[in-house]
Amino acid sequence: MKKIIILSCVLSIAILVSCNNQEQKPATNDNTVTTTAPASGQEAVQDDVSAKDVVKVAMSSKDHTTLVAALKQADLVTSLSNAGPFTVFAPTNAAFDKLPAGTVDGLMKDDKKEDLQNILQYHVALAAMKAESFTDGQVLGMVNGDNVTVSIKDGKIMLNNSATIVASIPASNGIIHVIDGVLLPPAKK
Amino acid sequence: MKNSKSKLIALLTIVTVISLQACKPKNVGSAVNADAASKTYVAPGKYDEFYNFVSGGFSGQMSVYGLPSGRLLKVVPIFSVDPEKGYGYSEETKPMLNTSNGFVPWDDQHHLDLSQTNGEIDGRWIFANANNTPRVARVSLNTFRTAEIIELPNSAGNHSSPFITENTEYVIAGTRFSVPPDNANGDVPINSYRKNFKGSISFISVDKESGKMDIAFQLRCPAVDFDLSHSGKGKSHGWFFFSCYNTEQANTLLEVNASQRDKDFIMAVNWKKAEEYLKAGKGKKEAVRYAHNVYDEKTHTATSEIKTEVTVLDVSDLKDICYFIPCPKSPHGCDVDPTGEYIVGSGKLAALIPVFSFDKIQKAIAAKDFIGDYEGIPVIKYESALYGEVKKPGLGPLHTEFDGRGNAITTMFVSSEIVRWNIKDLKIIDRQPTFYSPGHLCIPGGDSKKPNGKYVIVYNKITKDRYLPTGPELSQSAQLFDITGDKMQLILDFPTIGEPHYAQAVSADLIKNNSVKFFKIDENNNAFVSKGEGATKVVRTGNRIDVYMTAIRSHLTPDNIEGVKIGDEVYFHVTNLEQDWDVPHGFAIKGALTGELLIMPGETQTLKWTPLKPGMYPFYCTDFCSALHQEMQGYIRISTADSKVPLLFSTGKNMPVADTSFSK
């Protein structure tokens, strides 16, 4: 029941917001059109036997609850359940905790959804990049449109000199590289 | 507690309703409950309003659906053999699949384009590409059969194809995989891509009356991947636009290595200028080999000719044919709006959709507003060609079609949605989930000057969970949206054949009255026709047996054949004598290592059969044609190689003889 209320709240707010912002109507704002289609996309497919996609892998990790909550808040679950292929740099909960106090809570607010989307999309590239395929100085184009620079020192792969890949986990639709810092996109011009 | 929760929900619902009203949808009908079923219901016996021609992808064929019902009307074999229709199995159709490599029984059919006159669909032909062994086909919309296939030399991965110019002057085919030209030595290291590989774009002329295709010329271009293309129209008639990726010129792990540059290109081609150079004799003739296959509706027979020369214009030498326009991140779709002014490049890895202006491109070219050149081709400054950018459209923009009301609709592969945006102010109007990764989309006439913005059909690549499970592979789905209101409304899902890529749709009125009902038997010029049962015969020429056979409800003539021996090759030339709509006869013989024949009324088709052991072989009509269809059968007796059984054939005469041994 609580969930329904929260959902309704989100919808109400989303709809209110959408009136003011023609460019950024959320995909789910139209709750009055009745079709026989289910309300969610590929993430809702009932399938417990297939290899897990990047979202499901993240969901099964105790160290990524902040990331998973953020992906849900940013409406990115459907996208990341897609065929991909994705390279996801997945900051751990500890990595999020390293951000200044209140940063995450602030980003989780509905009026900051666009900022949250921008940050999370800065952690995703459309390519399945294995750890061994990264090269020193490599520039990766991320989904949000900005670039991440790879550096390799003493066998450690660093991103933007601010986060290190601590583990790599293959998923059905790409690869998750667990990182120990949150990547912050360059400030918009 | 329960009560208070209910109240809260009720309150929120009211807030939602109020906020919706605050949005003031122009068309309330589209935002309230609508009966999707009634919108797609076409009563039994009634025609659909539109034909929808859907590419078959790895099936190699084209399927034809009715809209809005989503009913499958026909599968037209083009690039793959079809034992059901005898296509590629009958002697008459085998030459259609001939290539410079020999007989190719399969291909990967990606895109379709209907012929146009003055930028509007004229309902005469539909063109289809073969991606793997590069070819372009022309399908007749009178017979819904493949009329012609032309192979493309110097090409590989014929992907940005087969898109037509405004008056179907040309069908254009750009190569996705650049390769060393055919007359060069291709036996070179793969990593010499930059040095030895070239991209080719073929301009295939189309005869105004007959539709006959011919490669007028090819443009020799830098080695990149030419992905998709569309013709200019109206003010931009005379120009063609191609999306290019892999401008990094990678030859391995393109997944990573072709995604390095921030911008790849849209290539603008001034083909009228190319025609001038061609006329001025600037083309170089090159020795190549390619097949040109034509199906003759009078002889009901295809012929295949191997051609040996193509004229090439080198665009690095002839500087003012091609211009590159930077386009973000591996552009895929390259679509031109109905006015011809706006060119939309969809960078599948980009976070925006750039829209280029034809006028600005012309100004930039005139002012030589270039930032340099790429492999000898001028590169126009991005900002100088850009009309504007659609910001944050969604993730993974792929393809765009136009609704004829000033809007564009773009598929978003990664975020699984379609997004409608206004071409003028580049603002997003509506977005609707497609649930499963959409690839191409199609609006009737959506790439012409006159779109019919009633529906958009979205072709999804993945259909997990959309239909009843059918094992590991699921039929890919098409989704029909009503786009007449402010909100695009999903009204139907329907399964497709193979993998649908680009599709076309057109008002049925333009096509349905031209449909051929049968072929006139008097005009049948097949070399082995029997224009009547009196003309049937069996002729031995050495070890070749020609059976001149007829089929009419409900018997085959001859239906008893004896005197054929091991070592013989038997050709059954079956003429369907019917002169009545929708009465094909089929023909099949036991043990034949081939398909059946499916012979249209008035047509002759030939099945070659080599008997391998002596015995009795029944043959019969496979297409239920009448109440006595089951009686439409016969026998051919196969004797040993040294047999002295005389050649005999008949229908209704070979009666049992008085057999004394039997009466004992």
Residues 307-366 of B with CB under 8 A from A: 328-329, 348-352
What confidence tier does B34 reach under pLDDT thresholds 50, 70, 90?
Answer: low
Name chain B contacts of A31, Cβ cutoff 8 Å: 16
pTM: 0.89
- Chain B nearest-CA distance from A155, in A, is 21
Query: Which 3 state secondary structure label does DSSP give B583?
Result: coil
Which amino acid, residue B140?
Answer: S
Look at residue A135 and tell me whether its pLDDT is greater than 80. yes
- Chain B nearest-CA distance from A55, in A, is 14
pLDDT > 70: percent of chain B: 94
Nearest to B176 by CA among B239, B100, B229, B104: B229
Look at residue B400 and tell me whether its pLDDT is greater than 50. yes
What's the whole-number mean pLDDT along residues B293-304?
98
The per-residue pLDDT of chain B, averaged, comes to 93
Nearest to B169 by CA among B205, B131, B202, B217: B205
Tokens 């390519």 found at: A127
Which pairs from B540-543 meet CB under 8 Å and 24+ separation? B540/B568, B540/B647, B543/B567, B543/B568, B543/B569
Quick: pLDDT tens for B615-651: 999 999 999 999 999 999 999 999 999 999 999 999 9
Residue B110 exposure: Cα atoms within 13 Å on the Cβ side? 22
Beta pairing partners, B572: B547, B607
Eight-class DSSP state of A24: G
Judged by CB atoms closer than 8 Å, whether chains meet at B19 and A85 is answered as: no
Contact B431, B421 (CB under 8 A): no
Nearest to B496 by CA among B37, B44, B138, B59: B59
Look at residue B20 and tell me whether its pLDDT is greater than 70. no
- The pLDDT assigned to A44 comes to 81
- The pLDDT assigned to B308 comes to 98
Q: Which pair of tokens denotes residue B62?
A: 């084209």
Contact B158, B487 (CB under 8 A): no
- The pLDDT assigned to B661 comes to 59
Residue B211 φ/ψ region, left for φ over 0, alpha for ψ in the -120 to 50 degree band, beta for the rest = left
- Chain A nearest-CA distance from B357, in A, is 22
- The pLDDT assigned to A5 comes to 47
- The pLDDT assigned to B332 comes to 93
- Candidate from A18, A30, A41 with C-beta closest to B416: A41
Judged by CB atoms closer than 8 Å, whether chains meet at B23 and A19 is answered as: yes
Beta strand extents in B413-483 (DSSP E only):
417-422, 428-433, 438-442, 455-460, 477-482
- The pLDDT assigned to B17 comes to 42
For chain B, how are helix, strand and coil distributed in percent, rounded to 5?
A: 15, 45, 45
Name chain A contacts of B259, Cβ cutoff 8 Å: 126-127, 141
Cβ neighbours for B255, distance < 8 A, ≥ 6 positions apart: A85, A127, A128
Question: CB atoms < 10 A from the CB of B87, how many?
Answer: 23
pLDDT > 90: percent of chain B: 88
Judged by CB atoms closer than 8 Å, whether chains meet at B12 and A8 is answered as: yes
Beta pairing partners, B231: B240
Task: Give the nearest chain B residue to A38 (CA atoms).
Answer: B435
Look at residue B408 and tell me whether its pLDDT is greater than 80. yes
Helices (H), B88-218: 193-196
Contact A112, A24 (CB under 8 A): no
Which amino acid, residue B35?
Answer: D
Residues 411-470 of B with CB under 8 A from A: 413-417, 427-433, 435-437, 461-462, 464-465
Name chain A contacts of B466, Cβ cutoff 8 Å: none
Quick: pLDDT tens for B498-544: 999 999 999 999 999 999 999 999 999 999 999 999 999 999 999 99
Judged by CB atoms closer than 8 Å, whether chains meet at A15 and B23 is answered as: yes
Residue in A5, A42, A87, A146 to test binding to B, most B beta-carbons within 10 Å: A42
What's the whole-number mean pLDDT along residues B231-255?
94
Residue in B13, B40, B418, B465 to test binding to A, most A beta-carbons within 10 Å: B465
Which range has the worst mean pLDDT, B35-39, B306-310, B402-406, B546-550? B35-39
* Torsion over CA: B15, B16, B20, B21 (sign): negative
Quick: pLDDT tens for B336-374: 999 999 999 988 778 899 999 999 999 999 999 999 999
d(CA B8, CA B4): 6
Beta pairing partners, A124: A88
Q: Is the ipTM of this complex over 0.90?
A: no
Which is more confidently placed, B358 or A127?
B358
Q: Which pair of tokens denotes residue B305?
A: 């000719």
Chain centre distance of CA B103: 20
Instruction: End-to-end CA distance of chain B: give it in Å, rounded.
Output: 101
Residue in A30, A47, A78 to test binding to B, most B beta-carbons within 10 Å: A30
Question: CB atoms < 10 A from the CB of B594, how many?
Answer: 17
Look at residue B31 and tell me whether its pLDDT is greater than 70. no
Q: Which pair of tokens denotes residue B248?
A: 């990094």
Name chain B contacts of A40, Cβ cutoff 8 Å: 435
Strands B263-270 and B322-328: antiparallel
Judged by CB atoms closer than 8 Å, whether chains meet at A42 and B436 is answered as: yes
Tokens 């009666």 found at: B655
Judged by CB atoms closer than 8 Å, whether chains meet at B416 and A121 is answered as: no
Quick: pLDDT tens for B161-215: 999 999 999 999 999 999 999 999 999 999 999 999 999 999 999 999 999 999 9
d(CA B493, CA B478): 6
What confidence tier does A20 reach under pLDDT thresholds 50, 70, 90?
Answer: very low
Name chain A contacts of B26, Cβ cutoff 8 Å: none
Quick: pLDDT tens for B50-64: 999 999 999 999 999
What's the whole-number mean pLDDT along residues B438-460?
97
Judged by CB atoms closer than 8 Å, whether chains meet at A15 and B20 is answered as: yes
Look at residue B135 and tell me whether its pLDDT is greater than 60. yes
d(CA B399, CA B457): 12
Burial B460-495 (b: 16+ CB within 10 A, else e): bbbbbbbeeeeeeebebbbbbbbbbbbbbbbbbbbb
- Candidate from B15, B31, B493 with C-beta closest to A12: B15
What's the whole-number mean pLDDT along residues A38-47?
73
Name chain A contacts of B420, Cβ cutoff 8 Å: none
- Candidate from A35, A143, A145 with C-beta closest to B490: A35
The per-residue pLDDT of chain A, averaged, comes to 83
- Chain B nearest-CA distance from A114, in A, is 10
Look at residue B35 and tell me whether its pLDDT is greater than 90. no
